Amino acid sequence: MKKIALAVGLVSLSIIAFAQKSSTDSIAEYRQMLQDGNPADLFEAKGEGLWTQKRGPKNASLEKCDLGKGPGVFKGVWVELPRFFADTGRVQDLESRLLTCMQELQGFDAQEIANTPFGRGEQSNVTALATWIAAESKGMKLNLPQAHIEERKMYEVGKRLFFMRGGSHDFACATCHAQDDKRIRLQDLPNITKNPGAGNGFGAWPAYRVSNGQMWGAQLRLNDCYRQQRFPYPIFGSDATIALGVYMGVNGKGGATVAPAIKR
């Protein structure tokens, strides 16, 4: 009760006295209130079900899917992605790797799913699966491999993409995400060039977006960054998106993951 009286007292101070610090504190308080009861749970449950469910033209489950630590292993795989896969000869992130498994094991057309708008049809299933698999690494530390030459090349490409200025507004990823203690409006912007920003940023997606009530995987997070950057449309699972994932994830090495998070 005393606490409430105090809060009311603070609010009744004039707008002028409403310091920026207290706005930031209030926002932090708001975010804290949302932590208990993250709707990402709903998508996590859906993803877990999809993993074992026999589906697709081949009527098979994903239980033999190799996400980097051998067929069927889902615990701890996400903190080591993106990584190089010998069978496809590509560095892949979680979502593009899931497409590979859905095509090889279940007989879906990976290209068709990649072309499906986010949140529709099989795309929403990919998001649910990614949410569950990320949750199976919750709290673990990011540990992306850099042993393979392709992984190291992708880091270098990712770095170049991160700093590339373009579009109608001359924005780069770095415009917002290369300095400490910056905000856009009231949202804190992680400095993705190093920890803790890189781990906190990269390690939070998939996340539930309260602003639109959608579950966003890392691919959609990047897609919307590029939209706001006024760039053209990054193709789902394309090498540019994966290279950026490698750059962010490697910079975040050692950072503990919180995905699936709840975000504005």
Partner 1 sequence: MQTRRETLKHSAAVASLLAATGLFPQYAQAFDKAAFDAKTINEAIKAMGGAVPVESKDVTITGPDIAENGAVVPFGASTSLPNVKRVLLLVEKNPSALVAMFNVSPEVEVNFATRAKMGQSSDVYAVAITNDGKAFFAKKEVKVTLGGCGG
Partner 2 sequence: MQSKFLLPLAAAAVCFLTACSTPLPSSADLDKLTKEIIARSFRAQGQAQLDRVNPDEDNLLCAQADQSGTTIDEKLAAAIEARNMQTIKPPADGKFLGDYKEGEKIAQSGSGKTWTDKADAANGGNCYNCHQISKEELSYGNLGPSLYNYGKMRGVANPNSAESKPIVEYTWGKINNPRAYNACSSMPRFGHKGVLTEMQIKHLMALLLDPASPVNK
Partner 3 sequence: MADPMRIRAQAAGDKATIRVLMSHEMESGQRKDGNGKTIPAWHIQDVTATLNGKTVMTAEWGPAVSKNPFLQFTIKGAKAGDKVGITWKDNKGDTRSDEATVT
The residues that touch partner 1, with contacts defined as CB under 8 A, are: 1, 4, 7, 10-11, 23, 26-27, 29-31, 33-34, 184-187, 210-213, 227-228, 264
Q: Does the protein bind partner 3 through residue 118 (CB under 8 A)?
A: no
- Asked if 45 interacts with partner 3 (CB under 8 A), we say yes
Q: Which of 41, 80, 151, 239 binds partner 3 (CB under 8 A)?
A: 41
DSSP string over 212-225? TTEEE-HHHHHHHH
7 binds, among partner 1, partner 3, partner 2, none (CB under 5 to 8 A by kind): partner 1
- Contact call for residue 117 and partner 3 (CB under 8 A): no
Strands 90-92 and 83-85 turn out to be antiparallel
Task: Report, in Å, the least distance between residue 242 CB and partner 2.
Answer: 9
Q: Give Cβ neighbours of residue 194 (< 8 Å, ≥ 6 apart).
A: 251
Any contact of residue 160 with partner 2 (CB under 8 A)? Answer: yes
CA pair distance 209, 72, nearest whole angstrom: 29
Which residue number, 125 or 200, has a Cβ lying nearer to partner 3? 125
Residues 216-255 binding partner 2 (CB under 8 A) are: 227-228, 230-235, 238-241, 243
The answer to whether the CB of 230 falls within 8 A of the CB of 174 is no
- Element (DSSP H or E) covering residue 182: strand 182-184
Q: Does 39 bind partner 3 (CB under 8 A)?
A: yes
In angstroms, the CA 157 to CA 257 distance is: 24
Number of Cβ atoms within 10 Å of the Cβ of 146: 16
Residues classed as catalytic: 225
